[in-house]
Amino acid sequence: MNKAELSEKLAAKVGVTKAQAEETLNAFTQITMETIKAGGEITLTGFGTFSARARKGREGINPRNTSEKITIPTVLVVKFKAGKNLKDYLKGRTELKAEAEKAE
C-alpha cells in the first residue's frame, strides 16, 4: 500500500476528505521524523514504538576492490519495536477492535 492508498482508506474509515486525511498523514510523518531525529521516540500503545539508534562505525571491504579496506561511518537508523496488540493480531490471536465492533 502506498501513501495515496493509505490516505484514501484513512479518509473512508474516519469520514473525512481525502485531502484532510493526506494532511493528517503528512503531519504525522513529519512529527515522527522530527521527534526521532531529535533522539525521542513515538509510542503508539499496542501498535509499537519508533525510535532511532546509532549503528557503530566499522571497518568494511570495498565491494569494487575486495582487497581494499574502507571505513563505514556511524549512522543513525530507525528502529521499530512492535507492540503486543500488533504481535497478537499478526499471530491470529486477536481481531482488530473495529472489525469486532462492526460484526456486532
At residue 104, does pLDDT exceed 50? Answer: no
pTM across the whole model: 0.72
User: What's the pLDDT score for residue 97?
Assistant: 61
Kindly indicate the confidence band of residue 94, based on its pLDDT and cuts at 50, 70 and 90. Answer: confident
Residue ranges per structural domain of the chain:
1-38, 51-104
At residue 44, does pLDDT exceed 70? Answer: yes
At residue 100, does pLDDT exceed 60? Answer: no
**Pair 26, 20: CB distance under 8 Å:** no
